[in-house]
Chains A and B, each alone.
Chain A
């Protein structure tokens, strides 16, 4: 992935730093800022994700991608800027409130519920389970038993889709690295999200599995889930992503398709040829 011959002069997508994104995106991030002491981890990040697309957030290490994901998911508070999801402002919302709106994130390293079974890991995910209310638990088991059966059926289906069915009764902590990545995705699917934020879903897994995770993502997009993935593997990004956001030094450097970005000198300079991929 060296942008050799494509350093053409025509810059198709102008850098969007500081510009206001157009309305109408599923997720609109506008002028996001977050500093840690003197470190400007995110410093003016703006982009927009259209519904039904797969977008990638790329950039060299330390560009602020994970911090951006944390800000969107509510795990960190932004110093400045706005995040709008499906028309509602997410600023200041707590992580679980954001998830309840259908925006679910995964973590850069696999974080399964280690001493629960694979099946249970999935069963936790569905939102607003009526069996999570104490009064229902104690006095109205009929209310949630039915729902529980549906969740179980759906979980088994999803496990089957991800090839984890045989592992359903194993402790999640005993899975291999690749299986854990699949579990992360399967677990996220169980939350029936509108949009998934995946932080390096392909990190640390073998090439064969990489292709399969990519296939899963495309399949889920067909099912109506919008994706934003932080990714270093530009081959996969090129293959499955409709849209790419490039970050450097905490700010959005450019947005566009992979082909657009190849023609963008600034991007090629900062990233595509700059190593660190």
Chain B
């Protein structure tokens, strides 16, 4: 019984973490139209930096090397990780968000991701190369207790709180003039600029905010699994997040939530526990990734707007609206020149 509950809690943790990833990508792609094809890199960088902030300095002669090793408490590590992800996003944005065509932007993100992956994987002085960070202490085990089944439930609460925080930020932005300007830039950048919007600033804001949010998810991932190595953040992982957002419905945060449930939890995480096929240990994961790639293509074909499409903006009607022309009468055919001055 405890094991089943623990399993459900684990899925819950992944659900919230993927919510956070999707909310972050939604700000970039759904709001501002930025094709970030390396979302997972920001998750990883945040995780790594938080990890080396929490871990103590590497033992001498242990053949394990990593930078920093600061022995800091988790809240500070969270900040460090999130800032690191935001900084990387800013640097990539400096190149990618100049007025480049959207395919170039996608190429820059993809290429940056490969480069970061190559560096982290090959240089074993930064985050211990291909071995990665292991044995990162989970947060607050002394308070919550070490029993993995009950601990997961506490961790679930942390994830839920973080997710609500991200949800709040994402929704606030969407409903604000800032979110509206982001969407205008997504629709037509030249026009938005001709109307005085600094597209570079606004897109950079979306990029960095999105990266930081993904970073929050990254730190939570590391805190939960207490290890992170390059094998855990390949291109395929980026695609899970993309698939979740596309399936759920881009530019709609509710869609991001629904998508991360359908794709990241129901499909991806559930199949992770299927037995491996003897003789070919990777086949299950290959088939899963094929399905995710196919799912995105199918969604774009069958329901391009996703399960929950972007909602139409509604403004509360003002009292003065009553004195306007009744609908249907005032279309283009009706002159309105004399209504003023």
A contact residues vs B (CB 8 Å cutoff)? 73, 75, 94-96, 99-100, 104-107, 111-117, 119-120, 123-125, 127-129, 131-134, 137-138, 141, 144, 148-149, 152-153, 156, 160-167, 169, 171, 176, 178-179, 182, 187-188, 191, 208-209, 212, 215-216, 219, 222-223
Contacts and interface: CB of A to CB of B under 8 A. Distances in A.
Contact of A160 (B310, B312, B324): B324
Given A113-B191, A212-B335, A127 B318 contact: no
A116 B195 CA distance: 16
A119 B316 CA distance: 12
Interface string B180-198: 1101100110111111111
Q: Top 6 nearest A-B pairs by Cβ distance?
A: A131-B177, A99-B196, A113-B187, A166-B327, A95-B193, A215-B337
Given A137-B172, A138-B169, A152 B195 contact: no
24 contacts: A75-B190, A96-B194, A104-B195, A107-B190, A107-B194, A112-B188, A116-B183, A116-B184, A116-B187, A124-B192, A125-B195, A129-B181, A132-B176, A141-B172, A148-B177, A156-B320, A160-B330, A160-B336, A161-B339, A164-B332, A166-B326, A188-B195, A208-B333, A219-B341
Given A99-B194, A160-B336, A215-B337, A166 B312 contact: no
Among B192, B193, B327, find the residue whose CB has the most chain A CB atoms closer than 10 A: B193
A222 B338 CA distance: 13
B334 interface: yes
B320 A96 contact: no
Given A95-B194, A219-B341, A119 B177 contact: no
Contact of A166 (B177, B188, B320, B328): B328
Given A111-B191, A132-B181, A178-B332, A171 B320 contact: no
A165 B330 contact: yes
A223 to B, nearest CB: 7
Nearest to A128: B196
Given A156-B321, A212-B335, A115 B310 contact: yes
B315 interface: yes
A169 B198 contact: no
Given A96-B196, A132-B178, A163-B330, A137 B173 contact: yes
A230 to B, nearest CB: 15
Contact of B314 (A164, A169, A188): A169
Contacts of B332: 163-164, 176, 178-179, 182, 209, 212
Contacts of A116: 180, 183-184, 187, 313
B325 interface: yes
A178 B333 CA distance: 10
B205 interface: yes
Given A160-B336, A212-B335, A134 B178 contact: yes
B181 A152 contact: no
Given A137-B173, A160-B330, A165-B324, A73 B183 contact: no
B194 A73 contact: yes
A153 B336 contact: no
Nearest to B312: A117
Contacts of B179: 137
B323 to A, nearest CB: 9
A216 B337 contact: yes
